[in-house]
Amino acid sequence: MLKYQLSKLLMPQLALLLSVILISSAGAQPPIFVDVTEAAGIHFKHSNGKTEHKHIIETMGSGAVFFDYDTDGDADLYFVNSGHVPQAKQEPQQTPLGNVLYRNEGDGSFTDVTEVSGTGDTGYGMAAAAGDIDNDGDADLYVANFGRDTLYQNNGDGTFTDITEASGIDNDHWGIAAVYLDFDVDGDLDIFVVNYLAYQVSMPVTTFKGIIGYGHPRSYEGTADVLYRNNGDGTFTNVAAAAGVTNPTEGRGMAAVVCDYDNDGFPDIYVTNDTNRNFLYHNNGDGTFTDESLFIGVGYDEKGVAEGSMGIDSADYNGDGWFDFIVANSEKATLYKNEEGLFFTDTTADSGLEQPTLPFVGFSPLFLDYDNDGHLDLFCANGHPQDVIKILMDHETYAQRDQMFQNSGDGTYTDVSGTTGAYFTEALVGRAAATADYDNDGDTDIVVVNSNQRSVLLRNDGGNQKNWLAIKLIGTRSNRDGIGAKVMVVTGKITQIREVKSGSSYASGSDTRLLFGLGAHQGVEKITVVWQSGTRQVLEDISINQVLRIIESEQ
């Protein structure tokens, strides 16, 4: 009887304790990514104009860029489409398939504003980049094509004007990536364009064991990359040759990222090449660059092999104050750890990334702090470039699932794809990816573009369980977007450093706002901004869970 009475008395306390445990466990659930594409009003499907000939341009896919084109504080979304394969004679019934601009309505939905904005470029599209080339406060748009590229100037009223010819943009090679940077640190944005192969649609078909497939990149010559210097008057001049960043013989460029890897104040350029060694152009500070890749360990992997490199991203993944590189390849990713700007170490195996990435063809790697714990995690969009690979090699597939890796905070990564949402079980032909907090709720969302398939908007649900701070830079003496500026955020014993950049992954660009995960910290002790002009700003005792605008001081 006494035992029964004690049990009866303890039942409410036990129930309360159990409920607390359950609530705590629920609150500790890791974030998941939810496919909200249709609900958000996005209906973009990439089209590659697939032919029986199987031109290699068909399988490469295209990119997307998050940027706030109407300056209302929401990240809008621009998709690049490929469309019909350019032929000597077009069929009259073919309707041009163009790029698409979606305006973010601020309520989780998007509206197609392509027609009214005038941004529906109908070239055989590959990549896009956004940046304020005229420092007037709104972002302009560069589109890289197989064929003539296009430069759109933002009119500030929701419309754009094609200024390609008037501005002197004349790249008509196979442009596959574009990034904005201020390489000469004069306060306006220049443009670096990565060109891929010297391919013509008149070239013969490629066969493998009698089966028509997409040609190997080694079957074609590489092409020279382009560096457009902003003349400050609405025009650009190609200075790639004088600057030393062309490399047409070795270059089969796929992607580029810009960062100041040696912290000397000048932006450097890393270019990934498909089956050739990669290039790391060190900015000499006098308008020229020197390719240092062979000397500091980023041209080849740790075995001295030139990989089939695709996309790239840069960030300080291990919190030591130096920017590292992640490269997606046809087999395994490669993580290069920056050793204080002197050289790089291939830490792929030590980081735990080698084995889980080995079975996949990675295209778009992206650093992001998806759980806001202050450590940069890693996303990668995967997909094989050869659509008949299953016939040729039965252990490989054309469509592949994407992956998410969690940063353990000790220099290692763990594959958490199995716990981050149903999307990561779906096999698609992944190509491009970009990130933004499109719904302004304090965690990082992802858009993925798949080759000749639907695109996917992944909303981060639960990343904002931990605290955060978003920072938007506005340059005055430096370029208006703050591209190239470094931001250091101090919380307790942890210092995070980021650099504003306009392009990364593959053929794409992420939002230039910087989102810092703060974990359980209830405030930010100090923010230091180092602008390209040399201006250094310090802010202290900053409130959290907000979007903070920092305008460059005049001193």
Contact 101, 121 (CB under 8 A): no
HSE-up of residue 319 (Cα within 13 Å, Cβ side): 20
Sheet strands side by side (includes 430-436): 32-35, 456-461, 445-450, 430-436
Residues 6+ apart with CB under 8 A from 54: 205, 206, 212, 213, 214, 387
Return the pLDDT at 217: 92
- Strand 160-162 with 150-154, pairing: antiparallel
- H/E element, 549: strand 547-551
Return the pLDDT at 4: 36
Residues 6+ apart with CB under 8 A from 16: none
Residues 6+ apart with CB under 8 A from 548: 469, 470, 471, 472, 527, 542
Return the pLDDT at 95: 80
Nearest alpha carbon to residue 366 among 521, 194, 505: 505
HSE-up of residue 425 (Cα within 13 Å, Cβ side): 7
HSE-up of residue 145 (Cα within 13 Å, Cβ side): 26
CA distances, 437 to each of 75, 105, 205, 219, 484 (Å): 7, 14, 43, 41, 20
Residues 6+ apart with CB under 8 A from 107: none
Q: Residue 219: how many CB atoms within 10 A of its CB?
A: 12
- Strand 160-162 with 494-499, pairing: unpaired
Q: Residue 551: how many CB atoms within 10 A of its CB?
A: 12
Return the pLDDT at 90: 56
Cα separation of 11 and 240, whole Å? 76
Cα separation of 362 and 355, whole Å? 13
Return the pLDDT at 355: 97
Nearest alpha carbon to residue 33 among 441, 366, 462, 505: 462
Nearest alpha carbon to residue 147 among 200, 93, 80: 200
In Å, how far from its chain's centre is CA 497?
A: 18
Cα separation of 500 and 25, whole Å? 36
Structure tokens at 298: 């980023």
- Positions in the chain whose pLDDT score sits under 70: 1-28, 88-93, 555
Sheet strands side by side (includes 268-273): 253-259, 268-273, 279-283, 289-291
Return the pLDDT at 93: 63
Structure tokens at 230: 């902003």
Residues 6+ apart with CB under 8 A from 167: 151, 153, 234, 235, 236
Query: CA-based Rg of the chain, rounded to a whole angstrom?
Result: 24
Structure tokens at 531: 């602008």
- H/E element, 467: strand 467-474
Cα separation of 14 and 251, whole Å? 67
Nearest alpha carbon to residue 140 among 124, 113, 122, 164: 164
Cα-based torsion angle of the residue sequence 438, 442, 448, 453 in order, rounded to the nearest 10 degrees: -60
Nearest alpha carbon to residue 433 among 361, 505, 326, 512: 505
- Give the torsion sign (CA, 486, 487, 490, 493): negative
